[in-house]
Chains A and B, each alone.
Chain A
Amino acid sequence: MEGRKTLSQRVYITDAAVVTALGSTLEETWHQLMAGRSGICKISRFDTHNYLCDKAAFIQDLVPKSQESMLPTLVERLISQLAPLGQDTLLFTATTKSCIDLIDVPGRGKDMLCSSITRYISQRLNLVDKGINISAACASGTIAIAKAAQAIALGRAQSVLVCSMDLVSEFVFSGFSALRAMSPESAKPFDQNRRGLSLGEGASALVLTGETKLKTEGLRPLAEVAGWGIAGDASHITAPDRKGTGLVQAITKALEDIEKPKIGAINAHGTGTVYNDAMELKAFERIFQNKIPPFNSVKGALGHTLGAGGGIEAALGIKMLQHGMLPPTVGLSVPEPGAESLVSNTPMEFKGKLLSTNSGFGGINAALVLSRGI
């Protein structure tokens, strides 16, 4: 039979941190999210007069400085929350545009390279590994976690730090406005009247650890990365496949060793664009038929944080599993037909594993299955 070969060890998340528009820690972000709050508000960082909307979920006290990027400041806030790491820890970062806020600063082109922020993190944490960045649009964070899990599961690494991050910048804001993908008001994922996405910014850090190291060092697992899958649509570079073909394939791979009824909930990509949310619903129907688990989207609260999204959502997934609760889908008022009992603007209880999905430009899709730590 074709499929994934036997893996040599299980993969656990042993440390996690986030910085988002809703909070400077995972705990704070979780509580704000569960309270139904949104970080999306009027943006003051640049002039939005000529764009489709004037809102984003940005970190209020992350203030632009002349000639400098905000990203290292965001990264400092993130990595300062981590417990000390072994020097042999590998480093995978995930960002779509890195220090793109330097684009209008003469002579700083080199600092905009994605590898620059990777190197910065490696040096700050005194890691031997210089690290790599994974760039796959809005699936970057999820793919970085998947590849880290793969490396550990196959015994090629014992510990990988995965840092995902992206900023709200005029560069990206103007682009999504030009593509007419942004909602004039705050995003309403899975709502019948959704009109597009709201951008967000943030960062996440997850330490993935192999079973061997976990046992040897007596580490506490926060969650297990139990499955992963990545697949492409091969249909369009800026629009999802209407039938969700790539996402179905990614989820199918992620569920290879897991029975479908064991999935208790789905943290969906849920951008709030008409086509993305419809595609996801279609993919969930194709996978689960009439037994789709409850699902949510955090993007009505945190905005679409692009390459950081998958990492932030995986970190929040730890809290979801610990509490057995899906946070409310903020912005939702009238669910999409077929999703009425499955998505809610209030928290929902669940039991079992959590499926988390992301999709991005280039037609790429990624899925993770997380389960509770031991």
Chain B
Amino acid sequence: MITGLGQMIPGKEPRILTAKNLLGHPYKPFGRMDYFSKLGFAGIVKAMKDAGRSEWQAKRNIGLIATTRFGCLETDQNYFATVTTDHGMGASPALFAYTLPNCFLGEAAIFLGLTGEGFVINETDPTGITGLSMAMTTLFEDDSMEAMVYGICDTPQISGIKTPKNLFQGALFMVLENKAPYLHTPYGALEFDASGTIIYNQETVSDIVVLAENALKGRKS
């Protein structure tokens, strides 16, 4: 079931993206992150807070999967500018560290103490459904997995790239659990039908953004 939702939408957020705004206190690694990582990190933290799982004592077997279309391409461009400026002499190790799109999952895992599986998916048809299916499958397969955090993350504009109209811009994450011990009112239950199609409240799930909207509506009603 979906036990937490968190989103970070650039332009819609009333406050700028700082650790103090997000966490209520300074967090040095946040300042080092590239914009893509900050967005994803914020989405994950918000979802875990919503699920009542942001506080921890011992590291937990919780996994993280994210779908992205453009990933850290903007950071790639920024990093390579530091390479070409001075024939490689000025290559920035700090930026290079974020030229892998899964690094923000590592940052979130460190902050939240999550030791489950973690990887990024690039879908050719970015609805987020393949990743959601993988997250659900892992929960189904492995009883020792406490929860899976799954979502999508993309930065709004990248130099030289035309962004598709239907692309979700920002970060949207959800916490999935087999049981809901931390929350009395989960958003709703996800399940596979016999053909492997994902069903939410008796309806086929074809897009993760629509799923999140429906989940929010369900809780309000």
Q: With a CB–CB cut-off of 8 A, which chain B residues contact A245?
A: 115
Q: Are A137 and B158 in contact (CB under 8 A)?
A: no
Q: At the interface, yes or no: B199 with Cβ under 8 Å from chain A? A: no
In angstroms, Cα B71 to Cα A133, docked, is: 12
In angstroms, Cα B64 to Cα A135, docked, is: 13
In angstroms, Cα B114 to Cα A218, docked, is: 43
Stretch at the interface among A99-107, A270-278, A296-304: A99-107
Among B103, B115, B126, B130: residue with most chain A CB under 10 A:
B115
Q: Are B83 and A171 in contact (CB under 8 A)?
A: yes
Size range of the chain A interface in the assembly: 35 or more
Stretch at the interface among A67-75, A115-123, A205-213, A285-293: A115-123
Q: At the interface, yes or no: B70 with Cβ under 8 Å from chain A? A: yes
Among A137, A174, A230, A238: residue with most chain B CB under 10 A:
A174
Q: At the interface, yes or no: B183 with Cβ under 8 Å from chain A? A: no
Q: At the interface, yes or no: A374 with Cβ under 8 Å from chain B? A: no
Which residues 220-249 of A sit at the B interface, judged by CB distance below 8 A?
230-238, 245-246, 249
Q: Are A174 and B88 in contact (CB under 8 A)?
A: yes
Q: At the interface, yes or no: A113 with Cβ under 8 Å from chain B? A: yes
> What 0/1 readout, one digit per residue, does chain A (39-53) give for beta carbons within 8 Å of chain B?
000000001011100
Q: At the interface, yes or no: B10 with Cβ under 8 Å from chain A? A: no
Q: Are A103 and B124 in contact (CB under 8 A)?
A: no
In angstroms, Cα B120 to Cα A360, docked, is: 13
- Select from chain A the residue with minimum beta-carbon distance to B134: A147
Stretch at the interface among B1-9, B12-20, B45-53, B136-144: B136-144
Q: Are B96 and A118 in contact (CB under 8 A)?
A: no
Q: At the interface, yes or no: B102 with Cβ under 8 Å from chain A? A: yes
Q: With a CB–CB cut-off of 8 A, which chain A residues contact B70?
A: 113
A109 to chain B, nearest CB (A): 4
Q: Are A115 and B96 in contact (CB under 8 A)?
A: no
Which residues 3-24 of A sit at the B interface, judged by CB distance below 8 A?
3-5, 7
B191 to chain A, nearest CB (A): 14
Q: At the interface, yes or no: B200 with Cβ under 8 Å from chain A? A: no
Q: At the interface, yes or no: B185 with Cβ under 8 Å from chain A? A: no
Q: With a CB–CB cut-off of 8 A, which chain A residues contact B86?
A: 50
- Select from chain B the residue with minimum beta-carbon distance to A114: B122
Choose from B80, B116, B118, B159 the contact partner of A171 (Cβ within 8 Å): B80
Choose from A50, A113, A147, A238 the contact partner of B89 (Cβ within 8 Å): A50
Q: Are A175 and B73 in contact (CB under 8 A)?
A: no
In angstroms, Cα B75 to Cα A100, docked, is: 12
Q: With a CB–CB cut-off of 8 A, which chain B residues contact A151?
A: 137
Q: At the interface, yes or no: B121 with Cβ under 8 Å from chain A? A: yes
In angstroms, Cα B103 to Cα A362, docked, is: 5
In angstroms, Cα B86 to Cα A137, docked, is: 27
**Given A103-B77, A113-B122: A3 and B91 within 8 A (CB)?**
no
- Chain B residues close to A by CB (< 8 Å): 59, 61, 63-64, 69-71, 73, 76-77, 79-80, 83-84, 86-89, 91-93, 96-97, 99-103, 105-107, 109-110, 112-126, 130-131, 134, 137-138, 140-144, 158-162, 196
A-B pairs with beta carbons under 8 Å apart, 14 shown:
A109-B158, A113-B70, A113-B71, A130-B125, A134-B121, A143-B119, A175-B96, A178-B96, A232-B64, A232-B106, A249-B115, A253-B142, A361-B100, A362-B100
- 10 additional contacts (CB under 8 A) given A115-B124, A361-B103: A96-B100, A103-B80, A104-B84, A113-B71, A130-B125, A154-B141, A177-B91, A231-B115, A245-B115, A363-B106
- Chain A residues close to B by CB (< 8 Å): 2-5, 7, 47, 49-51, 96-97, 100, 103-104, 106-107, 109-110, 112-115, 118-119, 122, 130-137, 139-140, 143, 147, 150-151, 154, 156, 170-171, 174-180, 230-238, 245-246, 249, 253, 360-364
